[in-house]
Amino acid sequence: MIEVDRLTKFYGNHAAIRDVSFSAEPGQILGVLGPNGAGKTTTMRILTGYMPASSGTARVAGFDVFEQSLDVRRRVGYLPETPPLYAEMTPTSYLDFVARIKGVSRGDRPGAIERALHATATDDVAHQPLGTLSRGYKQRVAIAQAIVHDPEVIVLDEPTIGLDPKQVIGIRKLIKGLSSDRTVILSTHILPEVTQLCDKVVIISRGEIVAEDTTDSLTATEDLEQVFLRVTTSDVVADEEAVAESTHAEPDDATADAGEEE
Amino acid sequence: MNNVWAIATKELRSYFLSPIAYVVLSGFLLIMGFMFWNMLAQFSRFVAIYSSMQQPGMLEQLSLNDMVVMPLLGNMTVVFILMMPLLTMRLFAEERASGTDELLLTSPISTLEIAFGKFFGATLFLCVLLGLAFAYPAILMYFGNPEIAPILTGYLALLLLGMSAIALGLFASTVTDSQIVAGVLAGGMLLMLLLINWPADAVGESMGAVLRYLSITEHSTDMMRGLIKVEDVVYYLSLISVGIFLSQRSLESLRWR
């Protein structure tokens, strides 16, 4: 269903991801786990046809994301990191618009909208402007737009970020329910989310895959936190060094400034 | 086509769900109304003067088209050009700022469909604006006896001019995520096209002809007199095509940045 083979993406001279490869099957929830800035969003954006890779290939639902981008986009539902909502629209009119541009026929649209609203428990705010809704509702409507056209693959980029605990539980239940016959890719940096939801995990660090396995195998001998810390050690060490450098640099600079003033 | 229509109708609805539609509509109609009233008052003064002079020949020469409609539409051109960036600045800059561009660019629609959809959405709003502004010539038709054909071609000139301004404004809106920058950029481009013929007399015959041809208002003058020339229509259609083409290229380039 999803086959990613040695994907690399450069922004100028900087490689956001390098030789990333993984796969996921129908019915599976794949967690892409990694620290902030590891390259998760870049990977998600390539898989959804938002941007092309610099090299490597990715096939989603049997189609190449670059060569057959429109076919891929027809079959993928995508929740970007920032919910793509129009504040002045209501959930109903918004989902109608999304269903139209995703190619849902006029006859099927009312049913599709109703199903998406019901699945995300947003029926009760269906006619309120999106700009007036709480963050939890906004996030759920954003998930509704990702499933309104009944896609084969659903890509969710940080779906629970910034939500309160009750909302997080609700969204996690919702994601679990989506996976019965679809492939779901979930990018996150929240460890419990992966253990609770995902069948398979890919850990990405500094743009490279550092671990890939089923959640059960990965957590058989140690818990996910230990695995994560072990495989992303270089990140942690680099971050600590950066903090140490900046705290040491400040007093020196201050002394130098004071010296100049004298 | 279905995708273009979906985006166009969404845009039109968005205009009326935000204050911008009402600000532009009321501002435009108020300014136009003020000019209309002044020109009509002047026309009435001339009628009164010539009537008192008891010279029927001179009275017959007074024309509502020449003294009211043509100068009204001619003056409105400048106001029109300055107002168009208010309509176009949000078209794509707002999508980029709020992150909804990711929805559009990951949907099974082409960037050309997005550009056309945005363009037609703003054009539909323009039609509403011109439709309401037709109230002024309608008043003349009700109380007076103006020639209708030049009024219609004058409105066609405003429509083509407005569509050209929308296409260029749309392009400006695709290059930045700041609505202000998009508005200033669109205003600058339109102002340049408005003023470009100023040095025409000083730069020699052939160069002068080029500058005059490029001027956005030069091609509306004859149309406002009732004369539709192919070269004028081609000029506006070219501007529209260039604007939409550049917008599509700019949208496509977002994927590569």
Beta-carbon contacts of A19 under 8 Å, excluding residues fewer than 6 positions away, are A6, A7, A8, A56, A208, A209
Q: Which domain holds residue B130?
A: 2-255
**pLDDT for A258:** 42
- Three-state SS string over chain A comes to CEEEEEEEEEECCEEEEEEEEEEECCCCEEEEECCCCCCHHHHHHHHCCCCCCCEEEEEECCEECCCCHHHHHHHEEEECCCCCCCCCCCHHHHHHHHHHHCCCCCCCHHHHHHHHHHHCCCHHHCCCCHHHCCHHHHHHHHHHHHHCCCCCEEEEECCCCCCCHHHHHHHHHHHHHHCCCCEEEEEECCHHHHHHHCCEEEEEECCEEEEEEEHHHHCCCCCHHHHHHHHCHHHHHHHHHHHHHHHHHHHHHHHHHHHHHC
State the average pLDDT over residues A80-102: 95
pLDDT tens digits for B228-245? 999 999 999 999 999 999
Mean pLDDT of chain A: 86
The full DSSP string for B21-77 is HHHHHHHHHHHHHHHHHHHHHHHHHHHHHHHHHT-HHHHHH--HIIIIIHHHHHHHH
Q: Categorize the per-residue pLDDT at A76 as very low, low, confident or very high, splitting at 50, 70 and 90.
A: very high
Task: Verify whether the Cβ–Cβ distance B99 to A84 is below 8 Å.
Answer: yes
Residue A130 and residue A54 in contact, taking contact as beta carbons nearer than 8 Å: no
| Whole-number pLDDT of residue A240 | 57
Q: Nearest to residue B128, comparing CAs of B217, B24, B241?
A: B24
Judged by CB atoms closer than 8 Å, whether chains meet at A51 and B256 is answered as: yes
Instruction: Enumerate chain B positions whose Cβ falls within 8 A of a Cβ in A.
Output: 2-3, 6-7, 10, 13-14, 17-18, 98-110, 255-256
The more confident residue out of A35 and A149 is A149
Choose the closest CB to B14 out of A74, A80, A86.
A86
Where does the pLDDT of residue A255 fall: very low under 50, low under 70, confident under 90, or very high at 90 and above?
very low
Q: What is the ipTM of this complex?
A: 0.88
Neighbours of B85 (CB within 10 A): 25
For an interface test with B, give the residue of A54, A63, A100, A109 to mutate (most B CBs within 10 A).
A100
End-to-end CA distance of chain A: 69
Chain B residues close to A51, C-beta within 8 Å: 255-256
What is the reported pLDDT for A243?
57
State how far residue A94 is from chain B, nearest Cα, in angstroms: 9
Q: Decide: A5 and A50 in contact? Cβ < 8 Å.
A: no
pLDDT of residue A227: 78
| Number of folded domains that form chain B | 1
Q: What is the mean pLDDT of residues B99-116?
A: 95
**pLDDT over threshold 70, residue A207:** yes
Lowest-confidence segment of B62-66, B179-183, B187-191 by average pLDDT: B62-66
The proportion of chain B whose per-residue pLDDT surpasses 70, expressed as a percent, equals: 100
If pLDDT is split at 50, 70 and 90, which confidence band does B252 have? very high
Give the Å distances, CA to CA, from A180 to A4, A169, A174, A194. Answer: 22, 19, 11, 17
Weakest mean pLDDT among A109-118, A127-136, B54-63, B211-220: B54-63
